[in-house]
Chains A and B, each alone.
Chain A
């Protein structure tokens, strides 16, 4: 508090000194006026400093989002948009009796990406833990090694999984070579399992790094204290390490869950018919069915649902942490 006040008074004194300087000089050129405005208003200064980022955000995120919302209330005939306001697209989305497609796919997408996220967390946490607590030398090399798969394009990583899981792929041919199976396993590719496996691999580094950072930050003396006070290693982990690494874990959950719900390219390549997700429907609505407004409506519903899930998730974890603290 006191620091903030001090800062404020410091800014105040600067401001008053510049004020007196400005009033002392009689010629008000344009440059001077701008400079005065710049120095006087903190808000202007703030926005100006932010302006490059702000412009990019407004141009590339804000405006397209508004356009998407507007588009979702239109309809399309051929290549012409009918601009009369209608809620028809949203009605179609939620008309379960008429066509259960959208709701079912939404549920499927959320479930698949929730499973993938859980798998990623379970796989990444031990890796991050190992990196933070067990590696003492050459930590940098390890971090680089973890990011190596990310040097390859996302598409190639998925294709690699196609090669691994495929009919004459790595898994099938090695199992057949070992004589364990006589016919290639067909359940490996073109189904939800394949999509989940691929997603779990492709997004792993996004989870490892945040968890690693929050584990790395844990004060080692807290762990010693817990041991001194008689905690077993497991108890120590549950009571000290895990709660303290929660910020990173939550961040990686969101980092993985949010983009994978709307993923399009993974299910398109390894999903077959049963592994389709909502992103594929949006793609085909916009590019093939000439129905961009419906595609926009589906995208918006998906965004809202994901936001809702994320809020719910953050709220429950917040509640739990409050309980733990009490």
Chain B
């Protein structure tokens, strides 16, 4: 059969259906096999990292890249998703949860403690995030290496949103002026906690059932006002840039990115407080490349990586020394020129007890689906 000259055949038209199908099948097979042949050669001897999107930039771990090449990086949208996937048997060497989630991660038995002597930069971490609850055990062993920290608040378009009175998180919940033009994060606990903060409840990380019912009312109001819940922050950023959204729940790296694009945006300092999060790296129990994993972590927490993290992503870094390398003006713009002072002011995210967390998640999911 001469169907290797398919273009001629097509022009001369005496091509029967069977040979056409054969040609199509061979193309399909070729395409299917292509993906299997590429990129396998190096896979075996690299550390595998399971992290948030945007953290695969080689400039965030320059020492590792120069020594070993490119690590295998895979992404998750939120830590609940990551936790379930890892619990379901997904194998990686390092994962990137947040400190407020650590109680659950340690209890699961999926991770193991670090050997402090192998962590090159541990002594240079900000003291405020050295010993966060549940990240260090009774014996003083470290289970969590802080890496990035930052704030969460409302990012809004200054040309479209008029703040009346004290700025408040209620803009994302009950402000009907911007119905259909706001977006929030597609994750239960943050939304429930913020609703509780608006209502002024004393402990937003452990809300009893009767208060949860009140929060539900706010969450329903939010659902009716919202355009979409984002699971990938770039969706919110694009929405703000195009004008589809006027305000969105956002991490402070988004502020830096949108400002760079020249958009008129501001980061709210709500009266209920910005929310400060700290995320970091954990070592999986069945880690395959332990030495590479430590190399990666040391590269990730080095001052040079920190400088890049602050400047490019607009996120705080665990290493104090990184801040000396960054232009103070940049730090001022990001609102992190004095982290110690800032962290005293904001709401530090804490672990929610497991049974409560489940309630938060199921309440949010029910409301999101129209319940």
- Collect the chain B residues with CB atoms within 8 Å of residue A281's CB: 365, 369
Q: Which residue of chain B lies nearest to A289 when distances are taken between CB atoms in the complex? A: B361
Q: Which of B79-87, B124-132, B134-142 contacts A (4 or more CB under 8 A)?
A: B79-87
- Collect the chain A residues with CB atoms within 8 Å of residue B108's CB: 78-79
In contact, A138 and B371 (Cβ under 8 angstroms):
no
- The yes or no answer to A104 lying at the interface (CB within 8 A) is yes
Q: A273-B229, A276-B370 given as contacts; is B84 within 8 A of A168 (CB)?
A: no
In contact, A288 and B84 (Cβ under 8 angstroms):
yes
**A274 to B187 CA separation, bound complex (whole angstroms):** 17
Q: Which of B12-20, B114-122, B193-201, B203-211 contacts A (4 or more CB under 8 A)?
A: B12-20
- The yes or no answer to B104 lying at the interface (CB within 8 A) is yes
- The yes or no answer to A86 lying at the interface (CB within 8 A) is no
Q: Which residue of chain B lies nearest to A108 when distances are taken between CB atoms in the complex? A: B370
Q: Which residue of chain B lies nearest to A105 when distances are taken between CB atoms in the complex? A: B369
- Collect the chain A residues with CB atoms within 8 Å of residue B84's CB: 286-288, 290
Q: A140-B15, A287-B81 given as contacts; is B365 within 8 A of A100 (CB)?
A: no
In contact, B81 and A290 (Cβ under 8 angstroms):
no
- The yes or no answer to A127 lying at the interface (CB within 8 A) is no
The digit string for B359-371, where 1 denotes a CB below 8 A from any CB of A, is 0011001101111
The digit string for B177-192, where 1 denotes a CB below 8 A from any CB of A, is 0001000000110000
- Collect the chain B residues with CB atoms within 8 Å of residue A141's CB: 10
Q: A140-B17, A272-B228 given as contacts; is B361 within 8 A of A101 (CB)?
A: no
**A272 to B183 CA separation, bound complex (whole angstroms):** 10
- Collect the chain A residues with CB atoms within 8 Å of residue B102's CB: none
In contact, A288 and B365 (Cβ under 8 angstroms):
yes
In contact, B361 and A288 (Cβ under 8 angstroms):
yes
- Collect the chain A residues with CB atoms within 8 Å of residue B150's CB: none
**A281 to B364 CA separation, bound complex (whole angstroms):** 12
Q: Which of B238-246, B293-301, B332-340 contacts A (4 or more CB under 8 A)?
A: B238-246
The digit string for B299-319, where 1 denotes a CB below 8 A from any CB of A, is 000000000000000000000
Chain A interface mostly helix, strand, loop or mixed? loop
The digit string for B221-249, where 1 denotes a CB below 8 A from any CB of A, is 00100111100000000010011100000
- The yes or no answer to B107 lying at the interface (CB within 8 A) is yes
- The yes or no answer to A320 lying at the interface (CB within 8 A) is no
- The yes or no answer to B345 lying at the interface (CB within 8 A) is no
**A186 to B13 CA separation, bound complex (whole angstroms):** 48
The digit string for A250-287, where 1 denotes a CB below 8 A from any CB of B, is 00000000000000000000001110100011001111
Chain B interface mostly helix, strand, loop or mixed? helix
Chain B CB count within 10 A is highest, among A105, A138, A286, A289, for: A289
- Collect the chain A residues with CB atoms within 8 Å of residue B243's CB: 167-168
B88 to chain A, nearest CB (A): 8
Q: Which residue of chain A lies nearest to B354 when distances are taken between CB atoms in the complex? A: A78
Residue from B78, B85, B104, B368 within 8 A of A273 (CB atoms) = B368
In contact, A274 and B370 (Cβ under 8 angstroms):
yes
B148 to chain A, nearest CB (A): 22
Q: A100-B371, A105-B369 given as contacts; is B81 within 8 A of A168 (CB)?
A: no
Q: A78-B354, A105-B369, A281-B365 given as contacts; is B80 within 8 A of A287 (CB)?
A: yes
- The yes or no answer to A307 lying at the interface (CB within 8 A) is no
- Collect the chain B residues with CB atoms within 8 Å of residue A287's CB: 80-81, 84-85
- The yes or no answer to A99 lying at the interface (CB within 8 A) is yes
- Collect the chain B residues with CB atoms within 8 Å of residue A186's CB: 180, 227, 244
Residue from A78, A105, A272 within 8 A of B104 (CB atoms) = A78
**A190 to B235 CA separation, bound complex (whole angstroms):** 13
- The yes or no answer to B358 lying at the interface (CB within 8 A) is yes
**A320 to B246 CA separation, bound complex (whole angstroms):** 55
A184 to chain B, nearest CB (A): 8
Within 8 A of B (CB), among A32-83: 78-79
Q: A99-B366, A274-B370 given as contacts; is B81 within 8 A of A288 (CB)?
A: yes
- Collect the chain A residues with CB atoms within 8 Å of residue B13's CB: 138
Q: A290-B84, A290-B358 given as contacts; is B244 within 8 A of A101 (CB)?
A: no
B74 to chain A, nearest CB (A): 15
B258 to chain A, nearest CB (A): 16
- Collect the chain A residues with CB atoms within 8 Å of residue B226's CB: 273
Residue from B107, B227, B362 within 8 A of A190 (CB atoms) = B227
Q: Which residue of chain A lies nearest to B241 when distances are taken between CB atoms in the complex? A: A168
- Collect the chain A residues with CB atoms within 8 Å of residue B87's CB: 79, 290
Residue from B78, B227, B362, B365 within 8 A of A272 (CB atoms) = B227
Chain B CB count within 10 A is highest, among A78, A186, A286, for: A78
**A140 to B16 CA separation, bound complex (whole angstroms):** 8
20 A-B pairs within 8 Å (CB atoms) are namely A78-B108, A78-B354, A101-B366, A101-B371, A104-B371, A141-B10, A167-B243, A168-B242, A184-B244, A273-B226, A274-B370, A276-B370, A280-B369, A281-B369, A286-B84, A287-B81, A288-B80, A289-B80, A289-B362, A290-B87
Residues of A bordering B, CB below 8 Å = 78-79, 99-101, 104-105, 108, 138, 140-141, 144, 166-168, 184, 186, 190, 272-274, 276, 280-281, 284-291
Other A-B pairs, 18, CB within 8 Å; known A168-B243, A273-B229 = A78-B107, A79-B87, A79-B108, A101-B369, A104-B371, A167-B242, A184-B244, A190-B228, A272-B228, A273-B226, A274-B370, A276-B369, A280-B369, A288-B78, A288-B80, A289-B80, A289-B362, A290-B84
Residues of B bordering A, CB below 8 Å = 10, 13, 15, 17, 20, 24, 78, 80-81, 83-85, 87, 104, 107-108, 180, 187-188, 223, 226-229, 239, 242-244, 354, 358, 361-362, 365-366, 368-371
